[in-house]
Amino acid sequence: MGAGHAHVLYRESTSAVHRLPPEVKITAMVLFTVAVVATPREAYWAFGGYAVLVAAVAALARVGPRWLLSRALIELPFVLFAFALPFLGTGERVTVAGLSLSVDGLHGAWNILAKGTLGVLASLLLAATTTTRDLIVGLDRLRCPQVLTQIATFMLRYLDVLVGEARRMRVARVSRGDDPRFLWQLRGFAAGVGALFLRAFERGERVYLAMVSRGYTGRMPAVWQGADAATAGQWAAAATVPAIAVCIAAVAVVLT
């Protein structure tokens, strides 16, 4: 029961990036992404600069390029659109390898690929260096409304409950002679989805009541909030990455 409080993407380590307080990392990541998105797409060199920044942070966090790139594949469904754009776009067209492609579409495809990939890499770096507990603490310290952090806390806590209940129900089905293969598992699962929800709720309610009886008031213990909140030095250290990114974006906007 005690397991599973760190999520699958978290990489255990004690690097400088891991030790930074979560609120600093969240802020830096969001600012970095906004700077990337605000960059004009014709400024190709700027995206090279961002990639170097991401690589530097990854090296500092001891996250290997292989881990990072293979996890970045999850964005594939989202950027597939990019590959359709050169065919769908309008305006001036060029011929590449016998295919008539729209210049605007090609730019659009590059835009989505570059910005999408950089955004995914930035969030993967945050995920690799921050536990879910820290993430909630970070959001709380950033003055995120308590209703939201409360829902987020329970969501992350109950994901394990939900997965655990689903596993128990599957074991129960199989031990009663159900022998599902591949897709046919879905049928048994779909038929039991309501029961799964209810079972998970009743278990979750017990978790909640146990928390309330131990003094939970809708906010995680003050010990979590106060301990090692970010110092000015840590803010300054983490600010270097978004600051460089904003400078690159500003130069790119001026130049194009």
Partner 1 sequence: MHISNGIIDGPVAAIFGALALAVLTFCVLRGRRDLDDRLAPMAGLVAAFIFAVQMLNFPIFTAGVSGHLLGGVLAALLVGPWVGALCVAVVLIVQALVFGDGGVAMLGLNITNMAIIGTAAGYLLIALLLRVLPRTNAGLAITAFVSALVSVVVASQGFVLEYWLGGTTDLGGNLAGLAGTMAGVHLLIGIGEGLITATTVVTVAKVRPDLVYALRARRPVAPAAPTVPVAGGAR
Enumerate residues 145-184 that contact partner 1 by CB under 8 A: 145, 147-148, 150-159, 161-163
Q: How far is the CB of 178 from partner 1 (least distance, A)?
A: 18
Residue 55 makes contact with partner 1 by CB under 8 A: no
x-marked contacts with partner 1 along 206-225 as a string, rule CB under 8 A: -xx---x-----x-------
Which of 207, 178, 50, 170 lies closest to 114 in space, CA to CA?
Answer: 50
What whole-number distance in Å separates Cα of residue 29 and Cα of residue 162?
A: 30
Nearer to partner 1, 103 or 236 (CB): 103
Residue 96 makes contact with partner 1 by CB under 8 A: no
Nearer to partner 1, 45 or 83 (CB): 83
Binder of partner 1 out of 63, 127, 230, 241 (CB under 8 A): 127
Is the Cα dihedral 181, 184, 187, 193 positive or negative?
Answer: positive
Look-up: residue for tokens 């409304």? 145
What whole-number distance in Å separates Cα of residue 79 and Cα of residue 86?
A: 13
Answer yes or no: are the C-beta atoms of 232 and 25 closer than 8 Å: no
Which positions from 225 through 254 interact with partner 1, judged by CB under 8 A?
none
> How many residues bind partner 1, per CB under 8 A?
80
What whole-number distance in Å separates Cα of residue 66 and Cα of residue 44?
A: 24
Residue 90 makes contact with partner 1 by CB under 8 A: yes
Q: How far is the CB of 61 from partner 1 (least distance, A)?
A: 15
Nearer to partner 1, 31 or 230 (CB): 31
Answer yes or no: are the C-beta atoms of 179 and 209 closer than 8 Å: no
Quick one: tokens of 19? 């030790």
Binder of partner 1 out of 2, 14, 66, 91 (CB under 8 A): 91
Which positions from 15 through 34 interact with partner 1, judged by CB under 8 A?
26, 29-30, 33-34
Element housing 109 (H / E)? helix 103-129
Q: Bridge-partner residues for 94, per DSSP?
A: 101
Q: How far is the CB of 51 from partner 1 (least distance, A)?
A: 14
Is the Cα dihedral 78, 84, 88, 94 positive or negative?
Answer: positive
Residue 77 makes contact with partner 1 by CB under 8 A: yes
**Window of 12-20, 119-127, 168-176, 240-248 that interacts with partner 1 by CB under 8 A:** 119-127
Binder of partner 1 out of 54, 115, 137, 140 (CB under 8 A): 115
Residue 91 DSSP one-character state: S
Nearer to partner 1, 147 or 232 (CB): 147
Amino acid at 231: T
C-alpha 106 chain-centroid distance: 27
